[in-house]
């Protein structure tokens, strides 16, 4: 892979029980080719092995924000610099 075609690094961030189950608050990573949407990245997480496979085993309750904005599963991650994963919010 040449530098021109290599995907840029993105920051992945994890909150609440996703932070606890993955053991990461954040990581800097180059996503593999073919990961285009939020649902792609959720599926990819289950293929990474322990502890991500367990943390992301049930993607349904997991919410995603792209560059600090709530995103639907169909949203494109092409321009995102920061992808955050978290359970439904419970503040207030």
Partner 1 sequence: MSVRVGEADFDVSAELAAVAGKDHGVGGVAIFVGKVRDHAGGEKLTSMTLEHYPGMTEAELERIETEAQSRFKLSGSRIVHRVGTLAPGDNIVLVIATSPHRKDAFDATEFLMDYLKTRAPFWKKESLANGSTRWVEAHENDALAAAAWTTPSAD
Contacts of 33 by beta carbon, 8 Å cutoff, 6+ apart:
7
State the nearest-atom distance from the C-beta of 91 to partner 1, in Å: 3
Tell me the two tokens of residue 59: 């993607």
Nearer to partner 1, 20 or 33 (CB): 20
Compute the distance between CA of residue 15 and CA of residue 17 in angstroms, rounded to an integer: 6
* CA separation for the pair 83, 10 (Å, rounded): 7
Considering the complex, what minimum distance in angstroms separates the CB of residue 27 from partner 1? 16
Nearer to partner 1, 13 or 77 (CB): 13
Looking at the Cβ atoms of 31 and 62, the one nearer to partner 1 is 62
Interacting residues toward partner 1 by CB under 8 A: 13, 15-17, 19, 65, 68-70, 84, 86-92
Mapped onto helix, strand or coil, the DSSP state of residue 10 is: strand
């Amino acid at each position: 892979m040449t530098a021109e075609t290599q995907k840029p690094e993105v920051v992945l961030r994890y909150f609440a029980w996703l932070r606890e189950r993955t053991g990461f608050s954040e990581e800097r990573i180059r996503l593999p080719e073919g990961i285009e949407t939020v649902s792609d990245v959720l599926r990819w997480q289950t293929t990474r092995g322990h502890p991500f496979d367990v943390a992301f085993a049930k993607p349904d309750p997991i919410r995603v924000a792209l560059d600090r904005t709530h995103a639907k599963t169909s949203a494109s991650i092409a321009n995102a610099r920061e992808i955050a994963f978290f359970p439904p919010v419970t503040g207030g």
